[in-house]
Amino acid sequence: MDRNNLRIAVVVTTYNSPDKLAAVLEGYLAQTDHNFELFVADDGSTSNTAQVVQQFQARATFSIRHIWQEDDGFRAAAIRNRALAATTAGYVIFTDGDCIPTVDFVAAHRNLSEPGCFLSGNRLLLSQEFTAQVLREKIPVHCWPFGAWFSARMHGQINRVLPLLHLPNISALRKLSPQRWKGAKTCNISAFREDLLRVNGLDESYTGWGLEDSDLVIRLIRAGLINKSARFAAPVLHLWHKENDRSGLEENQRRLLQVLNATHIRALKGVDQY
């Protein structure tokens, strides 16, 4: 496989957080690898978000597309599926509009991509106060050196610094938990588009926040894919925000338990409708 010529699509979900989205898009403008297209997968934001997207479209050397759906509650699975249907790129990275990428984020996902695998990365969390400062002062944390992050950890501005350590890309070590689905989240996950289509993308049957990403990972593994770790290679910097409404979590937990006890690989309500 020629990774250098692999067409990549980055799908960034957002909802009415234009300041966070701007900080995230600055991170993508600074990537060492610009050979990708970016989709802002918008779950019903107002025109403020569209204005931010237009500003970055004018600045970017790569394509930025705005995929929008009507505001009808938390429907991240649906807007991700719409973006997945809209791209023809061979490889797709899912992340969120409150997760700033480090400058080699796309390059790391490209270098680790491998047929028969999907990648799951991790994140570090910024404190509420530090997040406010980053957004207010437009601090370019995406290009901070490790020493600056170590200082931030000492001052309680982030929860941990280990995700920023880079370890050698030894394939065998990254496949020590090939069946692991817990902890893999769509704020930092990637896969070949053909594999995502094979499992019919994300399942939109989940209502409200929670567990639609676990459902996707379980079905990818059931389809024969290996969970290859992108930890210590491709972290994201998660900006603080209030917790999402979790009123539907109990029902989603019940649905996920059914999936764990089932055998299907395709989403019941997935990308094929687009």
Q: What is the DSSP string of 117-153?
A: EEEE--EEEB-HHHHHHHHHHT--GGG--HHHHHHHH
The pLDDT score that the predictor gives to residue 209 is 66
The pLDDT score that the predictor gives to residue 90 is 98
pLDDT (mean) for 238-265:
76
pTM of the model: 0.94
pLDDT tens-digit profile of 223-246? Answer: 999 999 999 999 999 999 876 655
| pLDDT of 208 above 80 | no
Q: What percent of the chain has pLDDT over 90?
A: 79
Look-up: residue for tokens 């028969």? 116
pLDDT (mean) for 68-86:
95
pLDDT (mean) for 151-178:
91
CA distances from 217 to 206, 233, 236, 260 (A): 14, 20, 19, 11
pLDDT (mean) for 8-12:
98
Q: Considering the chain, what is the average pLDDT of its residues?
A: 93
Buried/exposed code over 27-57 (b: 16+ C-beta within 10 A; e: otherwise): bbbbbebeebbbbbbbbbbeeebeebbeebb
| pLDDT of 93 above 70 | yes
pLDDT tens-digit profile of 111-147? Answer: 999 999 999 999 999 999 999 999 999 999 999 999 9
Q: What is the distance between the alpha carbons of residues 204 and 197, in angstroms, rounded to a whole number?
A: 14
Q: Which domain covers residue 28, as residue numbers?
A: 3-273
Domain count for the chain, please give it: 1
The pLDDT score that the predictor gives to residue 257 is 80
Q: What is the distance between the alpha carbons of residues 16 and 21, in angstroms, rounded to a whole number?
A: 9
Return the higher-pLDDT residue of 211 and 49. Answer: 49
| pLDDT of 247 above 70 | no
The pLDDT score that the predictor gives to residue 74 is 87
The pLDDT score that the predictor gives to residue 256 is 73
pLDDT (mean) for 21-48:
97
Q: What is the distance between the alpha carbons of residues 149 and 164, in angstroms, rounded to a whole number?
A: 8
Q: What is the distance between the alpha carbons of residues 141 and 54, in angstroms, rounded to a whole number?
A: 23
CATH code where residue 238 lies: 3.90.550.10
pLDDT (mean) for 205-219:
83
Q: 143 — phi, psi (to 5°)?
A: -115, 15
Within a 10 A sphere around the Cβ of 226, how many other Cβ atoms?
17
Q: What is the distance between the alpha carbons of residues 149 and 112, in angstroms, rounded to a whole number?
A: 24
The pLDDT score that the predictor gives to residue 130 is 97
Quickly state the pLDDT bin for 167 (edges 50, 70, 90): confident
The pLDDT score that the predictor gives to residue 242 is 77
